């Protein structure tokens, strides 16, 4: 399995280089390759239908217990086949659809990157490798949504989708880590799923459920994070069909399916997912009903359909899961076909707004047939797979007995009515009605574009007529993996005239009614804040405003503020350390002024005078020069402590630094600090700092630790260092490396001076 | 002399010092200097590998300079952490010198660019290797003055203004460090880190040590660009040429981080609940305000500069959590960050070559015109943003895991939020520089196409490719570095290993 994934990624890489240059060779080769992959997975059908589970382990990061563990059971096999078969159809379709794009090589490359990642998601049995693939699907979706990257709308939609899904991904990662902390199962799904009690006992279960749900909600476009999906329609249509209808957006649902055995006993799991799903389902259906653009209609019905799946997981129980599984399959088929057909229509007529379309039954019969069948499946009309799915949904809700099930049922009835109204709208107005396209020459789409949707529609029909033969064998095992028990799915098209069927008929009638009233219902005006996009923009702009405001405070361009910030933060820390340590205000050390010499006082006076003088200067140059006085005074002080070497070093360093600084400063604009109030503002900061430093010195000077170093140096400087002056020996022998460093510093300072003087500013460079 | 018996540690320093001296000897011949610089960079890289292997196989390597026994002389120590840092600094130095051959103007090369660059790396390397607090201060000075001259070199007004801010805050930092060293010396009577570690652990008055801790925290905090001490970084980094920025962005702040990690694992561990909680708060604030700063920018280099600040927060977060996994996370993050961040600066320089700007609003169209450049950027940028399986993700993941294990939920939430904001910011660059059309595109303002760009600037691209390959190895085969980081973390969390290696090595 690892090999199949790697080969897909490799194919993607090669496609980037060769697909555009050799389309005649690349397309057949790639199609054959994908057929091979499909065959590879199909080969496992036999054992999986016996209830077998295949596992492959490939070590990756031992240090973190992260491995490529692949698991093939009914659920992952179903998804693997869905992904690969759709992938092949999409590839064929886009070979024509994207024919004239200059970047079709990249397009195919991204598509394959996505396919490999999505396969990785459904095959991984290690939570972290699953997560890695999960994020890669988000990322490839980002690249594909932004494919028409010269358009602002595409760029915005791509970035929005990336941020929403990756943001959810971060929550998901935290949730996975919680599961690992709770169970210590090395992220292995197989082990993890058998230990719900460990998760419950850890006290982390609630957090894990919420975090994982956020991940799934963002990925599967559930309310309130649903808005990225309609915007993602900026992607080329094959992408919408593949990622944003059939596969990627189902990743969230897949994850819920996968983890269902772990949480199916928990009320929070059911309520959270059920309510989120029900809300999204209703909202999406209503929004779809408002739209005129085919792709946006399909996007909102997808949001709604994903809501149904969430709701069914929330409802829980075998019947609900069976229904969800069938509905998922039905949805993938009809929605994929509808998207592709919409793409063909757009491609051939130049529009995908229903109000501008007409007559397609006659102009594009093959595509129209696909639309007709698929729309019927979407509306849940006999004898399509959509009908089977809808019946199962009603049935599961009707017989569930769960407290919320009747509310869910009522909402599903509403959503179903909207779906039907939308289907009628599409079929009647785009296909049947005679309108402005009547007299135009419009040709049927190329066979590569007409065939894939027709095939999907045909499967919808076949599966609807004989569900027990076509889809039940695999779906039953998939569903069984979700509730972790023996398969219990029994599919048939016709269940007789029971209450559920009556409900279906009622939905159809309600849908027809909605269709008739649609002009009036669509006119309902709504305020801007009801739109989720409005909130996204609000969050983004608030973040940016906050960023600007905080940065203007922290990084306002004035060095004096930076210094003040550093000093104040330092002072706060030091005061805390002083108070917390009970060090208080010490008295000056005794005998501080004993033996004070007059020349020491002179040096002291020099320093003080320089500082006072400093306060009154407005020129940077003179400020720098005054600093020099202080530096030289300190050097003088060294000579008093019989350290002439240190003093000389200090003189040298001081002089060179001064020259360097003055060279720089005289090229800068004059000092800007003119306002006296501004100057006085910094006085308390300076005083505070001075006081704190004095207190610290007093405290430290009281400590007199007998130093072994001192004794050692005094003892050895003559015998081993061969020098009379211990300071001297320390500098050139005991700690010669320090001196080497200082010499280097001086050399570099000199280089700096030379460079500043000699450099001819070349204007060519920025 | 024992120096000859254990030359591993000194070798990297020797190589750089000798190269520096020869560059000065050939002052008038910029081309010769370039050859010397590139050769020494390769030599430095090789000797760093050698040092690393020696440490990896034989344990901590110690050299007593001048054969004065510890704690009396100066000791150089290469443990795993130090040798990893030396190695990564060598990788960066090599890439930068390669890049600079085509990036730096002839005028700069004539005025001492190479010798000063070599000194800066010399300072960085020395800071990693020293086992003596005062000697560390000296290395910091070497680094400081060299980076200062590098920022100034070129004399443009922006550079000069940036350099004043840089040098002023750096001097303040030096002042704090020197005072801190003085306090420690007064309290313990020693400067050797291993000796200090023991002395501090046994000191009767931890509240006095606390004073020193504050000085070091602020001093190193400025160097590492922690909140609220980071303002020098965005003020000065965007001003000099890319080769200089790349080197500083990759290495300088990380020396500060290295020092913090060294001091707060080896020395200041007497009161973990207070010191490391404080670090955790600073880490959170640093990552948050750093990324906010990045969001407020409209300039390629400035955005990248603020992200450095933000990511320093992640490294300190690992230190503050103080579990083996967390420290390992920090180490992994440091290595990842150095590679990726330097590379992003290099790439911004290549983008500038194509269109002459760093302003996002004036850039565009790279995606169509330069697919390979786009790929290079994508790998580093989305690694920085933590998209799996790129290296940044592993760093983020390890830190999140360590934080959640330690029940530090809030900091993990902050770090994940900051990750999202980083993605927001990186995707902004991606969208405006790579996807959208350039304002001048219609007028044919592009000087090069993909092929001529490579032909005329192949060294720029090659050095970026070199760093990208390193990132890819970390991304797809993180096992090696993670295992190594874990081992390093264990070594750091058991200071006795370090102490024994330094203090019981006096006999030879």
- Which residues in chain B have their CB less than 8 angstroms from residue A128's CB? 397
Does B507 have pLDDT greater than 50?
Answer: no
Range with the poorest average pLDDT among A529-538, B254-263, B415-424: A529-538
The whole-number pLDDT of residue B431 equals: 92
In angstroms, the CA A274 to CA A277 distance is 5
Contacts of A678 (CB under 8 A, 6+ apart): none
Contacts of A718 (CB under 8 A, 6+ apart): A724
- Which residues in chain A have their CB less than 8 angstroms from residue B359's CB? none
In angstroms, the CA A334 to CA A71 distance is 28
Nearest-CA neighbor of B151 among B34, B23, B244? B244
pLDDT band at A483 (very low <50, low <70, confident <90, very high): confident
The whole-number pLDDT of residue A613 equals: 82
Cβ under 8 Å to A: B residues 34-53: none
Whether ipTM > 0.95 holds is no
Range with the poorest average pLDDT among A315-324, A635-644, B472-481: A635-644
Do the Cβ atoms of A742 and B141 come within 8 Å?
A: yes
pLDDT per position as a tens digit, B181-220 = 999 998 998 999 999 999 999 988 888 899 999 999 999 9
Let me know: does B166 contact B148? Beta carbons within 8 Å. Answer: yes
Question: Residue A62, exposed/middle/buried by CB under 10 A (0-12, 13-18, 19+)?
Answer: exposed
Does A48 have pLDDT greater than 60?
Answer: yes
The whole-number pLDDT of residue B455 equals: 86
Nearest-CA neighbor of A396 among A498, A312, A513, A510? A312
By DSSP bridging, strand A54-61 and strand B75-78 are unpaired
In angstroms, the CA A41 to CA A55 distance is 14
Do the Cβ atoms of B186 and A754 come within 8 Å?
A: no
Backbone angles phi, psi at A19, to 5 degrees: -60, -40
Whether residue A695 lies within 8 A of chain B, CB to CB, comes out as no
Tokens of A124: 């991984």
The whole-number pLDDT of residue A525 equals: 67
Indicate the domain borders of chain A. 272-524
Range with the poorest average pLDDT among A17-31, A95-109, A385-399, B493-507: B493-507
Q: Could you tell me what percentage of chain B is helix, strand and coil, using 3-state DSSP and rounding each to the nearest 5?
A: 80, 5, 20
The shortest C-alpha distance from B405 to chain A (Å) reads 7
Cβ pairs A/B, distance under 8 A: 305
Look at the block and give the residue holding tokens 């217990």: A65
In angstroms, the CA B325 to CA B340 distance is 22
pLDDT per position as a tens digit, A88-101 = 999 999 998 988 88
Partner residues linked to A66 by β-bridges: A61
Averaged pLDDT, B234-250: 90
Whether residue A180 lies within 8 A of chain B, CB to CB, comes out as yes
3-class SS of residue A69: strand
The whole-number pLDDT of residue A24 equals: 85
pLDDT band at B1 (very low <50, low <70, confident <90, very high): very low
pLDDT band at B3 (very low <50, low <70, confident <90, very high): very low
The whole-number pLDDT of residue A37 equals: 94
pLDDT band at A592 (very low <50, low <70, confident <90, very high): low
The whole-number pLDDT of residue A764 equals: 42
Q: For residue B394, what is the nearest residue in chain A, using CA coordinates?
A: A64
Q: Considering chain B, what percentage of its residues have pLDDT values greater than 90?
A: 73
Does B434 have pLDDT greater than 70?
Answer: yes
In angstroms, the CA A395 to CA B497 distance is 69
pLDDT band at B274 (very low <50, low <70, confident <90, very high): confident
The shortest C-alpha distance from A323 to chain B (Å) reads 34
The shortest C-alpha distance from A606 to chain B (Å) reads 21
Indicate the domain borders of chain B. 290-502
Closest Cβ opposite residue A709 in set B71, B116, B211: B71
Range with the poorest average pLDDT among A489-498, A507-516, B396-405: A489-498
pLDDT band at A552 (very low <50, low <70, confident <90, very high): confident
Let me know: does A248 contact A118? Beta carbons within 8 Å. Answer: yes
The whole-number pLDDT of residue B217 equals: 96
pLDDT per position as a tens digit, B70-88 = 888 899 999 999 999 999 9
Higher pLDDT pick, B69 / A175: A175
pLDDT band at B156 (very low <50, low <70, confident <90, very high): confident
CA B119 to chain centre: 16
Does A672 have pLDDT greater than 70?
Answer: no
The whole-number pLDDT of residue A442 equals: 82
Closest Cβ opposite residue A668 in set B160, B397, B419: B160
The shortest C-alpha distance from A160 to chain B (Å) reads 9
pLDDT per position as a tens digit, A335-365 = 999 999 999 999 998 888 988 888 888 889 9
pLDDT per position as a tens digit, A682-718 = 889 989 999 999 899 888 888 776 677 888 888 887 8
Do the Cβ atoms of A709 and B153 come within 8 Å?
A: no
pLDDT per position as a tens digit, A62-75 = 999 899 999 999 89
Nearest-CA neighbor of B156 among B110, B107, B115? B107
The whole-number pLDDT of residue B153 equals: 87
pLDDT per position as a tens digit, A110-134 = 999 999 999 999 999 999 999 999 9
Does A50 have pLDDT greater than 60?
Answer: yes
Averaged pLDDT, B13-22: 94
Do the Cβ atoms of A152 and B436 come within 8 Å?
A: yes
In angstroms, the CA A97 to CA A86 distance is 16
In angstroms, the CA A613 to CA A367 distance is 89
In angstroms, the CA B240 to CA B307 distance is 18
Let me know: does A479 contact A325? Beta carbons within 8 Å. Answer: yes
The whole-number pLDDT of residue A478 equals: 87
Does A660 have pLDDT greater than 60?
Answer: yes
């Amino acid at each position: 399995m690892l090999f199949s994934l790697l080969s897909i990624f490799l194919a993607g890489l090669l496609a980037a280089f060769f697909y555009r240059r050799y389309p005649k060779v690349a397309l057949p080769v790639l199609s054959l390759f994908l057929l091979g992959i499909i065959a590879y997975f199909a080969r496992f059908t036999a054992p999986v239908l016996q209830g077998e589970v295949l596992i492959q382990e490939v070590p990756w990061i031992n240090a973190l217990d992260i491995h490529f563990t692949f698991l093939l059971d009914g659920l992952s096999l179903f998804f693997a086949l869905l992904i690969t078969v759709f992938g092949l159809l999409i590839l064929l379709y886009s070979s024509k659809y994207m024919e004239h794009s200059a970047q079709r090589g990249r397009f195919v490359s991204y598509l394959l990157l996505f396919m490999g990642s999505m396969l990785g998601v459904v095959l991984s049995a290690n939570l972290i490798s699953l997560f890695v693939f999960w994020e890669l699907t988000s990322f490839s979706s980002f690249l594909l949504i932004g494919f028409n990257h010269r358009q602002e709308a595409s760029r915005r939609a791509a970035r929005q989708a990336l941020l929403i899904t990756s943001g959810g991904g971060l929550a998901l990662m935290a949730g996975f880590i919680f599961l690992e902390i709770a169970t210590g199962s090395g992220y292995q799904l197989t082990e993890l799923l058998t230990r719900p009690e460990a998760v419950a006992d850890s006290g982390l279960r609630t957090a894990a459920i919420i975090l994982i749900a956020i991940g799934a909600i963002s990925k599967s476009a559930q309310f309130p994070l649903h808005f990225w999906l309609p915007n993602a329609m900026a992607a080329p249509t094959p992408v919408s069909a593949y990622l944003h209808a059939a596969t990627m957006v189902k990743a969230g649902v897949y994850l819920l399916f996968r983890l269902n055995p772990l949480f199916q006993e928990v009320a929070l799991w059911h309520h959270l997912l059920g309510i989120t799903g029900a809300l999204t389902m209703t909202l999406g259906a209503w929004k779809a009903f408002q739209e005129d653009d085919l792709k946006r209609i399909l996007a909102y019905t997808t949001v709604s359909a994903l809501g149904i799946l969430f709701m069914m997981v929330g409802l829980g129980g075998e019947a609900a899961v069976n229904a969800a599984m069938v509905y998922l399959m039905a949805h993938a088929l009809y929605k994929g076909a509808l998207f592709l057909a919409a793409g063909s229509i757009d491609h051939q007529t130049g529009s995908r707004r229903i109000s501008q379309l007409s007559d397609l039954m006659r102009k594009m019969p093959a595509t129209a047939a696909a639309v007709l069948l698929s729309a019927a499946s979407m509306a849940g009309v006999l004898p399509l797979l959509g009908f089977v799915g809808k019946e199962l949904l009603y049935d599961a809700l009707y017989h569930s007995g769960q407290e919320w099930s009747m509310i869910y049922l009522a909402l599903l009835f509403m959503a179903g009515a909207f779906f039907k109204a939308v289907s009628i709208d599409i079929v009647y107005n785009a296909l049947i009605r005679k309108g402005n396209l009547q007299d135009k020459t419009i040709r049927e789409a190329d066979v590569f574009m007409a065939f894939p949707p027709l095939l999907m529609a045909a499967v919808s029909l076949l599966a609807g007529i004989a569900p027990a033969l076509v889809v039940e064998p695999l779906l039953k095992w998939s569903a069984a993996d979700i509730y972790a028990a023996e398969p219990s799915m029994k599919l048939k098209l016709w269940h007789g005239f029971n209450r559920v069927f009556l409900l279906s008929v009622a939905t159809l009638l309600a849908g027809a009614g909605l269709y008739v009233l649609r002009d009036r219902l669509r006119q309902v005006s709504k305020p801007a804040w009801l739109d989720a996009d409005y909130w996204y923009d609000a969050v983004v702009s608030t973040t940016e405003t906050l960023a600007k405001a905080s940065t203007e405070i922290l990084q306002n361009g004035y060095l004096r503020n930076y210094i003040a910030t550093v000093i104040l933060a330092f002072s706060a820390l030091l005061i805390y350390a002083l108070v917390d340590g009970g060090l208080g205000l010490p008295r000056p050390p005794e005998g501080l002024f004993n033996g004070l010499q007059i020349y020491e006082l002179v040096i002291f006076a020099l320093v003080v005078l320089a500082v006072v003088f400093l306060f009154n200067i407005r020129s940077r140059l003179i400020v720098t020069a005054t600093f020099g006085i202080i530096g030289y005074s300190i050097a003088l002080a060294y000579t008093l402590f019989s350290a002439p070497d240190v003093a000389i070093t200090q003189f040298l360093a001081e002089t060179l630094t001064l020259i360097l600084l003055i060279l720089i400063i005289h090229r800068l604009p004059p000092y800007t600090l003119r306002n006296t109030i501004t100057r006085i503002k910094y006085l308390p900061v300076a005083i505070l700092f001075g006081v704190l430093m004095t207190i610290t010195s007093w405290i430290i000077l009281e400590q007199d630790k007998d130093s072994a170093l001192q004794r050692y140096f005094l003892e050895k400087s003559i015998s081993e260092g061969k020098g009379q002056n211990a300071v001297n020996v320390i500098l050139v022998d005991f700690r010669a490396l320090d001196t080497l460093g200082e010499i280097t510093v001086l050399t570099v300072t000199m280089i700096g001076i030379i460079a500043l003087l000699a450099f001819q500013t070349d204007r060519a460079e920025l | 002399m024992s120096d000859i018996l254990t030359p591993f540690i000194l070798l990297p320093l020797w190589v750089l010092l000798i190269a520096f001296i020869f560059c000065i000897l050939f002052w008038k011949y910029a081309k010769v200097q370039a050859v010397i610089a590139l050769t020494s960079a390769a030599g430095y890289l090789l000797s760093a590998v050698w040092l690393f292997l020696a440490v990896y196989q034989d344990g901590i390597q110690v050299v007593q300079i001048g054969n004065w026994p510890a704690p009396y002389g100066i000791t150089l120590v290469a443990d795993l952490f130090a040798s990893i840092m030396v190695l990564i600094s060598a990788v960066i130095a090599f890439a930068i010198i390669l890049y600079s051959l085509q990036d730096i103007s002839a005028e700069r090369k004539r005025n001492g660019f190479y010798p000063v660059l070599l000194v800066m790396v010399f300072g960085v390397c020395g800071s990693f290797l020293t086992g003596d607090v005062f000697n560390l201060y000296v290395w910091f000075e070497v680094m400081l003055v060299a980076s200062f001259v590098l920022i100034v070199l070129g004399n443009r007004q922006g550079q000069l203004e940036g350099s004043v801010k840089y040098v002023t805050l750096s001097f303040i930092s030096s002042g704090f460090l020197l005072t801190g060293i003085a306090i420690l010396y007064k309290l313990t009577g020693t400067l050797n880190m291993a000796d200090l570690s023991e002395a501090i652990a046994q000191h009767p008055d931890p509240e006095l040590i606390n004073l020193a801790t504050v000085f070091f925290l602020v001093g190193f905090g400025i160097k590492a660009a922690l909140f609220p001490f980071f303002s020098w970084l965005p003020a000065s980094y965007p001003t000099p040429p890319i080769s200089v920025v790349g080197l500083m962005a990759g290495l300088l702040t990380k020396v500060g981080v290295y020092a913090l990690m060294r001091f707060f694992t080896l020395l200041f561990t007497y009161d973990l609940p207070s010191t490391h909680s404080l670090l955790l708060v600073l880490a959170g604030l640093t990552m948050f305000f750093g990324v906010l700063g990045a969001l407020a920018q409209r300039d390629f280099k400035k955005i990248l500069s603020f992200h450095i600040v933000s990511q320093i927060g992640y490294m300190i977060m690992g230190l503050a959590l103080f579990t083996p996994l967390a420290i390992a996370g920090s180490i992994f993050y440091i290595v990842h960050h150095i590679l990726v961040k330097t590379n992003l600066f290099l790439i911004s320089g290549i983008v500038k070559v194509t269109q002459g700007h760093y302003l996002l609003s004036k850039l565009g169209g790279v995606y169509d015109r330069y697919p390979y450049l786009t790929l290079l950027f994508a790998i580093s940028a989305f690694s920085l943003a933590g998209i799996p399986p790129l290296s940044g993700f592993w760093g983020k993941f390890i830190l999140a895991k360590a934080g959640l294990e330690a029940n530090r939920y809030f900091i993990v939430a902050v770090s994940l939020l900051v990750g999202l904001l980083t993605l927001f910011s990186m995707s902004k660059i991606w969208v405006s520089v790579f996807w959208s059309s350039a304002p001048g595109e219609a007028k044919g303002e592009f000087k090069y196409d993909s092929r001529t760009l490579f032909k005329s600037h192949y060294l720029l691209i090659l050095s970026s490719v070199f760093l990208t390959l390193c990132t890819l190895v970390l991304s797809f085969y993180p096992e090696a570095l993670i295992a190594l980081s874990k081992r390093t973390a264990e070594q750091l969390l058991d200071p006795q290993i370090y102490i024994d290696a330094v203090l019981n090595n006096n006999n030879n």
